[in-house]
Amino acid sequence: MADAATGTVLSILCVLGWTALVRTVIIDPALQVLGAYLAVWVPLLGAVLVASFVRGRRSLTLDFGLRFTWLDLCWGVGLGLLARAAVSGIELATSGRVAGFGVRLELPTGFELWFGLLLAPIVLGPLVEELFFRGLVLRAVERGAGGGDRGDGGDRRSRVAGASVAAASVAVLTSALVFALLHMTQATTGAEAWRLGAGSLVFGLAAGVATVLTGRLGAAIIGHMVFNGVLIAAVLSA
């Protein structure tokens, strides 16, 4: 729990600090893109590595469920598409349009395109963020919420099952809320913050449920890739 909290706070502070720096100092656009991602990833990945290699079993698979199966591909694609459809519905209801569609933007080139618009949000971001939010945060909260009351007597088994479900529910919700909060700090306006928060919360809940049901991060990571990839595809097609 301490590692999860530290990673969250440091990431928020780094994002706010980098945003303030970019607004006051002239920085090369490519470095701006790289710095914006690293401000989020370095604290999150650092917390994951400390939790695993200092306090855990020194294995991202054993500590956080970082593994994939072919079934995770089906789970992930479905999860990503359904979450994106749900978020699009929210956007239509609140703003009258879907993010990425019908808006013509001047696309970046070079590093800003292949890294900032493709590699980072579709591949690297989902891996790092799911390791932290559904790997470290979800498991830490679930362990903390369900570690005490195991019950006794004849109804011990039902009490244990009930406690496990309750702990998993709290963990899924908490990890989704923290995930949404971090994304809201990256917004530049109040309206954008609420839109990012709502979309991140929807996906976070879906990814958390998939992680709890499968015991792996595979479905959440693939779902995150699809969720982001659909938005990027919409931007590129416009």
Instruction: Dump pLDDT digits (tens) for 24-79.
Output: 988 899 999 999 999 999 999 999 999 999 999 999 999 999 999 999 999 999 99
Confidence of residue 160 (pLDDT cuts 50, 70, 90): very low
Contact 144, 234 (CB under 8 A): no
CA dihedral 26, 27, 32, 34 (to 10 degrees): -160
Instruction: Provide the whole-model pTM.
Output: 0.90
| Percent of the chain whose pLDDT exceeds 90 | 66
Mean pLDDT score across all residues of the chain: 88
Query: What's the pLDDT at 178?
Result: 96
Q: Which two tokens stand for residue 137?
A: 């945060």
